[in-house]
Amino acid sequence: MTAGLVACYYSIQLINCMAKYSSRAIDSLSLTLAALADPTRRAIVEKLASGQATVNTLAEPLKMSLPGVSKHLKVLQKAGLVIQGRDKQRRPCRLNAERLQDVANWAERFRRNWEESFKRLDEYLSEITEKEKSK
C-alpha cells in the first residue's frame, strides 16, 4: 500500500470514529436505551417513578457511594430521563417520563408484530389440530 493510500485510510477511520462518538450522531432513543442498559440506572429510574428523591435517598438501597450514584445520575440526565432541580440546599431528582414514553412507543411496534406472529401461529396450530382430529 502506498503512503497516500495509508494516509487516506487512516483519515477515513478517524472521520468514522469522530462520527461514531459525536454527540450529534447519537439520537435520543439510543442515549435512553444505553442509559437503561445498566441495572443500577434502571433501579434509580424505578425509584424515581414513585416520586422525586435526593441523591442520598437514591444511594441508600443501592449500597453505593454518593459519587457513584451521581455518576449514574449524570448518564440518566444526559439521556433526558432524569431532571435535577434545586430546593435551597437540596437537589431533588425527578423522572422525565417523556423519554420513557419514547422507548415505549418504539417498543410498541415490535409488540404488535409479535402479537400478529403469535396469532398466525395459533391459527396454524389450530388448523393442524383439526386435521389430526379428523384422521
Identify whether 57 is part of a domain: yes
- Show contacts of 73-79: CB within 8 Å, 24+ apart: 73/44, 75/35, 75/38, 75/41, 76/35, 76/41, 76/44, 76/45, 78/31, 78/35, 79/28, 79/31, 79/32, 79/34, 79/35, 79/36
pLDDT, tens only, 67-94: 999 999 999 999 999 998 777 777 899 9
Identify whether 8 is part of a domain: no
pLDDT, tens only, 29-80: 889 999 999 999 999 999 999 999 988 889 989 888 889 999 999 999 999 9
Identify whether 88 is part of a domain: yes
Identify whether 19 is part of a domain: no
Identify whether 17 is part of a domain: no
Q: How many domains does the chain have?
A: 1
CATH number of domain containing 56: 1.10.10.10
For 67, the domain range is: 27-134
Identify whether 45 is part of a domain: yes
